[in-house]
Structure 1
Amino acid sequence: MYNKVIKSILIATLAIGVSVSTVSSAEAASIVMWGKTELKLGQIGKVTILENTPLVKLNSDGSLTTVRTLKPGEEFRVYSYRSNHGGLYGVGGGSFVKKDNKAKYETPSKSKLALLKEISENPEPTPQPSKPNVEEGLEVISGAPSSFKNCTALKEHYPDGVKKGHPAYASKHDRDKDGWACEPSWR
């Protein structure tokens, strides 16, 4: 008897572990990680900061302005490359990192790019939240107040009344105590 109980507990624990790992794998399968950064469409590489280095903006006259100092270990996606100023890696938002020995540039592997392409071409469907409809008495009208002095005022916004659980529901408007406030006589 004792062995059967232990076996049952072990099987249940194993089943829970497998189901949790399956969910985690499904969530992880929708993104492609590359080091500490997620690989994105349009990305041509990444730059890892090796020493303090400036993040710069390229001005209209061609000069550079420092935005802030980047710290060692930080990683940034690279979306473009410009050859002026000895080389500038475009990291998005109009910002650049200078090409020098303070920053290490890498390109993604072909297998990571292929995986990213496959995921982007075959996205998993996103579940749509259910929206209560008028018949359910739970639809909330944007801009409508959430409390009303009487049923006449409530029916200006909700002509069919509202169900218990709706922000505008008040028990004082539910005379027959059926869970509907200010419902028409046909309901």
Structure 2
Amino acid sequence: MTERAEQLAARAVAEPTPAGVLIPFYRDSTGALRLILIERTLHGRHGGQIALPGGKWEPTDPTMRDTAVRETCEELGLTPDDCDVLRELTPVRTRSTGFVVWPFVARLRAVPAQWRPQEREVAAVLDVRVDELADPSAAGEEEMDFPAWKIRQRVPVRRIAGHTVWGLTLRILEPVLPRALAGEYQI
């Protein structure tokens, strides 16, 4: 790990950055449960990763729910009226980048015919079937490098549509996917 990476890691432990994300579900025309994920652009601490839409808290956000909705709308080109927040989940800390993230289960009221992602932050919008993402055959492990890690590590992953979901996004989704498929949330 470089000296700069060590400094950032030490600061991140002491001063976590608050962030909010939505877990935006909807049902398609066949009734299949679907989830919207994003692929982040290459810049930033989480560049190139598959993520839940959302981002950092801003002083103008009254609550972390407001942060999650604002950031999701900015990243996906939606309006706050396009989604219903159904449940707040327990905040989760990243393990190496210094964020504490408030996840919120949400239902999209409608899905646009064409997504209008924020080009600076979102490389692609991924619309995935929840049953395919939750399928045991999608689960695996992969050896990865990450700037804040001293050595390569084997991490749990889920593979969907040629993409790899891992890290905080996977830790948030793992307990939520089976609950969503079981009908716990009104989607």
Rg larger for? 1
By the TM > 0.5 criterion, same fold?
A: no
Q: Which TM-score bucket, shorter chain as reference? A: under 0.3
Q: Compute the TM-score of the two structures, normalised by the length of structure 2.
A: 0.22
Which TM-score applies when normalising by structure 1?
A: 0.22
